[in-house]
């Protein structure tokens, strides 16, 4: 069994923001599985599904971004899932809008949601799909930037990126992280 966690912030206030791109990818995966991530249990919204022949739990932590690890750890403990079977999808300001990076493991790279997941899992060794949302413009506060919505031009790019990120997750399940890295890390926007 795999846990697929898309990071974001709960409530309609944050829908469509850069920080919520992980939630959007989870919703796209749920659509492909003909389900919805609407069941509430403790600190997550979740859905059980079959994706690429694998049993998966799709989750959207409801703890707010900086405490994502609490929710991921709770679900991992409940389903007795090892970190290598937890795929995390999140926004990355170090990548151009729509650019993807798949990784087997690694540091948080300054992302507070990932820092918290690493702290709660006690390891950096879990696969992740980073979705580029673009660099913060000069003079902007980082929090204001990641909590802002995309420009109409970037929104079109991000809609495509959400599909690509969902494709990358499916490839991880089907062929492994290395195959997804070879396919999606080579693509440039």
Q: Burial level of 152, CB count in 10 A (0-12/13-18/19+)?
A: exposed
What does pTM read for this prediction?
Answer: 0.96
Nearest-angstrom CA–CA distance, 33 and 27? 10
Average pLDDT over residues 96-100: 95
pLDDT band with cut points at 50, 70 and 90 for residue 116: very high
**Could you tell me which of 174, 108, 128, 98 has the C-alpha nearest to residue 5?**
128
pLDDT at residue 23, rounded to an integer: 98
pLDDT band with cut points at 50, 70 and 90 for residue 187: low
Query: In the CATH scheme, what is the homologous superfamily, with its name and number, of domain 2-184?
Result: Peptidyl-tRNA hydrolase (3.40.50.1470)
Ramachandran angles phi, psi of 45, nearest 5°:
-100, 140
Average pLDDT over residues 166-187: 94
Rounded mean pLDDT of the chain? 95
Average pLDDT over residues 154-167: 97
19 is an active site residue = yes
pLDDT at residue 22, rounded to an integer: 98
pLDDT at residue 10, rounded to an integer: 96
Nearest-angstrom CA–CA distance, 167 and 188? 16
Q: Is the pLDDT of residue 189 over 60?
A: no
Q: Which of 19, 28, 73, 120 is catalytic?
A: 19
Binding-site residues for tRNA: 14, 64, 66, 112
pLDDT at residue 36, rounded to an integer: 96
Q: Domain segments of the chain: what residues? A: 2-184
């Amino acid at each position: 069994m795999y846990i697929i966690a898309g990071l974001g912030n709960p409530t309609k206030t944050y829908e469509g923001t850069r920080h919520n791109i992980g939630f959007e990818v989870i919703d796209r995966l749920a659509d492909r599985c003909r389900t919805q991530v609407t069941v509430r249990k403790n600190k997550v919204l979740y859905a059980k599904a079959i994706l690429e022949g694998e049993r998966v739990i799709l989750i959207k932590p409801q703890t707010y971004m900086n405490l994502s690890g609490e929710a991921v750890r709770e679900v991992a403990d409940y389903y007795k899932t090892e970190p290598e079977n937890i795929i995390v999808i999140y926004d990355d300001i170090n990548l151009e809008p729509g650019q993807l990076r798949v990784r087997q493991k690694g540091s948080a790279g300054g992302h507070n949601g990932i820092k918290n997941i690493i702290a709660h899992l006690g390891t950096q060794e879990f696969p992740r799909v980073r979705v580029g949302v673009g660099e913060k413009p000069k003079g902007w506060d980082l929090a204001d930037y990641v909590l802002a919505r995309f420009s109409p031009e970037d929104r079109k790019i991000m809609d495509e990126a959400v599909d690509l990120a969902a494709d990358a997750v499916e490839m991880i399940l089907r062929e492994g992280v290395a195959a997804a890295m070879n396919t999606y890390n080579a693509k440039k926007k």
